[in-house]
Amino acid sequence: MMPCGGADQGANEKGKDRKKSLTSKIKENKVSIIVVLAVLCAVIIAIAVAVTLKQSKVQVQTPASKFHHALFYLKTKGYKELVEMTYLQWIKDENQQEGDIELIDGTYITIPQDGVYDIKFVVQLYFSEDTPDFHLFLTLYTKNETKIESKKKTLDSSHISKHEIIELSVTRKLKANDTIFLKMNMVKFISPDKHTSHLSITVLKINEPP
């Protein structure tokens, strides 16, 4: 028969083992919770960084300027073709430039953003007294020689004055990177007076990206 003292000692040892086991489980649970929290924090940080980078990328891709305007003066000489339809040449007035409308090779004008644009041009003409009757055409094109607008002016020698103008105004919806240009016949009659013939382009409405 086991003495009572030995039974008490065995019970105490079992109690200590249970306590150690419980303490160990609590520590393991704490470690598991800490690991889960660390993973959650890492995921949240990763999501926040991804969102920030995406927003930054969108900001970089979206043009900062929301207003575009440019003024160009017509070159009055230097054309190879003087009678038939030919490309008009322009000089940009840098002091009247706002936004990102660009002039390429002196002829082609690029559109920076989708939107509605107001395009106005005036050509000053000069005639001598012996100028014969003829039809003058001034035409605005976009890429692939697609005609946007055209103006015809019939010049009658019996009613013609030394100074005449031909002008055209059009409001047009254009897309980013569209190219526009103008052609005219009888460029030999362009007035030599500088700054009397000009082209202006102004955005009226920008189509915001989705």
d(CA 103, CA 125): 23
Secondary structure element (H or E) that encloses residue 150, with its range: strand 146-155
What tokens were used for 107?
A: 């002829």
CATH code of the domain occupying 69-206: 2.60.120.40
Predicted TM-score (pTM) above 0.85: no
Is 169 a residue whose pLDDT tops 60?
Answer: yes
Alpha carbons 90 and 190: distance in angstroms, whole number: 13
The SS3 call for residue 127 is coil
Q: Are 106 and 75 in contact (CB under 8 A)?
A: yes
pLDDT at 22: 60
Residue 66 near residue 194 (C-beta atoms within 8 A): no
Phi, psi of 75 (to 5 degrees): -70, 135
pLDDT at 10: 56
Residue pLDDT, tens place only, 38-88: 777 777 887 776 766 666 554 444 455 579 999 999 999 999 999 999 999
The predicted pLDDT at position 20 comes to: 59
Which among 151, 152, 153, 191 has a CA at the least distance from the CA of 169?
151
